[in-house]
């Protein structure tokens, strides 16, 4: 492992969704340099097989490792859910942190009735990674997973609020949070994990169909805290001075990355700051 604290943190996602995690990393560690790779040419990962996502994830990691990084953040729920072990095996010298375990920890801290809803892409929910991560912490938790693939397209399109987003949210979530009257012993989650990097943008639409008491868990902040703790443990944090730089890499169409990415990051990304790479 490189013990050089001045190296950047490497972050990758299937596209621009991971910029919600980058935003949290930036807030927690403003002095760190970051290289962010969005594999937009092959988005979405959420409908692809485990083998394909693992192969893509290892290729993304290889590009970042080639540029020299001190830690790898898998800022994609789907890749974290299915490829965290292949990535750790491929790069034993580099700490690899995904978003699933921090999200599971945050959910277990938030729930009071031990009933947790998890929404994500088809692949994340089908793979059961959140179930395993939550049960490792709270074996008696009841977990209700639900794929919400259309949320990804809505977030990409910028249709994150208003009638369409709220109608889609209601269609996906009503059966989970508002069971039909007459249902015997309904268990309603008091916590909902946004198990996809795109979903934080839809939080207001999702909130519109939930009772006020339901806690929405977005793993970005918890992931940033986990990354900070790991860097500190390894003595790899940068001195807290100056402002860290971000390099943006994408596998397709820098202009589109800059345009849609700015929405996810919450601050503008200039097209000329985005480098096109071929994996
Ligand atoms: N980044 C993916 C995730 O967090 C969502 C987009 C995709 O399906 O690739 O699961």
3-class SS letters over the chain? CCCCCCCCEEEEECCCCCHHHHHHHHHHCCCCCEEEEECHHHCCCCCCCHHHHHHHHHHHHHHHHHCCCCEEEECCHHHHHHHHHHHHHHCCCCCEEECHHHHHHHHHHHCCCCEEEEEECHHHHHHCHHHHHHHHHCCCCEEEEEECCHHHHHHHHCCCCCHHHHHHHHHHHHHHHCCCCCCCCCCCCCEEEEECCCHHHHHHHHHCCCCCCCEEEEHHHHHHHHHHHHHHHCCCCCCCCCCCCEEEEECCCHHHHHHHHHHHHCCCCCHHHEEECCC
Q: 252 and 162 in one domain?
A: no
| Ligand 1 probe mutation, 11, 18, 60, 78, most atoms within 8 A of CB | 78
Confidence of residue 160 (pLDDT cuts 50, 70, 90): very high
The verdict on whether 31 is a catalytic residue reads no
Residue 180 has pLDDT above 90, yes or no: no
Q: How far is the CA of 22 from the centre of ligand 1 (A)?
A: 15
Residue 181 has pLDDT above 80, yes or no: no
Q: 225 and 210 in one domain?
A: no
What CATH number does the domain containing 194 carry? 3.40.50.1860
* This prediction's pTM: 0.93
pLDDT for 166 equals 97
Q: 193 and 124 in one domain?
A: yes
In the listed set 201, 219, 237, which residue is the last one of a domain according to the structure?
219
The verdict on whether 243 is a catalytic residue reads no
Q: 128 and 141 in one domain?
A: yes
Residue 242 has pLDDT above 90, yes or no: no
In the listed set 219, 250, 266, which residue is the last one of a domain according to the structure?
219
Q: 35 and 141 in one domain?
A: no
Q: 164 and 120 in one domain?
A: yes
Pocket of ligand 1 (CB under 6 A): 13-15, 17, 43-46, 76-78, 120-121, 124, 152, 196-198
Q: 38 and 147 in one domain?
A: no
Q: pLDDT by residue (tens digit) across 183-219?
A: 777 889 999 999 999 999 999 999 999 999 999 999 8
Q: 267 and 189 in one domain?
A: no
Q: 65 and 129 in one domain?
A: no
Residue range(s) defining the domain that contains residue 81: 3-98+221-276
Confidence of residue 241 (pLDDT cuts 50, 70, 90): confident
| Ligand 1 probe mutation, 16, 21, 44, most atoms within 8 A of CB | 44
pLDDT for 266 equals 93
Q: How many domains does the chain have?
A: 2
Q: How far is the CA of 120 from the centre of ligand 1 (A)?
A: 8
Range from 139-143, 181-185, 252-256 carrying the lowest mean pLDDT? 181-185
Q: 50 and 140 in one domain?
A: no
Confidence of residue 2 (pLDDT cuts 50, 70, 90): low
């Amino acid at each position: 492992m490189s013990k050089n604290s001045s190296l950047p943190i490497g972050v990758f996602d299937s596209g621009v969704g991971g910029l919600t995690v980058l935003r949290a990393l930036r807030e927690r560690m403003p002095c760190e340099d970051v290289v962010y790779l969005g594999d937009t040419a092959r988005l979405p990962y959420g409908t692809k097989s485990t083998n394909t996502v693992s192969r893509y994830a290892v290729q993304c990691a290889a590009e970042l490792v080639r540029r020299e990084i001190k830690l790898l953040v898998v800022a994609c729920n789907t890749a974290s859910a299915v490829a965290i072990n292949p990535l750790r095996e491929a790069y034993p010298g580099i700490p690899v942190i995904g978003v699933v375990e921090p999200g599971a920890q945050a959910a277990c801290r938030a729930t009071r009735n031990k009933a947790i809803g998890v929404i994500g892409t088809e692949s994340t929910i089908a793979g059961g990674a959140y179930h395993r991560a939550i049960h490792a912490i709270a074996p008696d938790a009841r977990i209700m997973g639900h794929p919400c693939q259309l949320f990804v397209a809505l977030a990409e399109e910028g249709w994150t609020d208003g009638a369409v987003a709220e109608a889609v949210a209601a269609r996906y979530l009503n059966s989970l949070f508002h069971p039909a009257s007459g249902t015997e012993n309904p268990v309603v989650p008091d916590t909902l994990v946004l198990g996809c990097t795109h979903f934080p943008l839809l939080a207001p639409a999702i909130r519109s169909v939930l009772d006020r008491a339901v806690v929405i868990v977005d793993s970005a902040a918890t992931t940033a805290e986990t990354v900070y703790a790991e860097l500190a443990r390894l003595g790899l944090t940068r001195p807290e001075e100056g402002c860290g730089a971000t390099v943006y890499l994408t596998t397709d169409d820098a202009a589109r990355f800059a345009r849609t990415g700015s929405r996810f990051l919450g601050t503008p990304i200039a097209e000329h700051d985005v480098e096109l790479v071929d994996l």
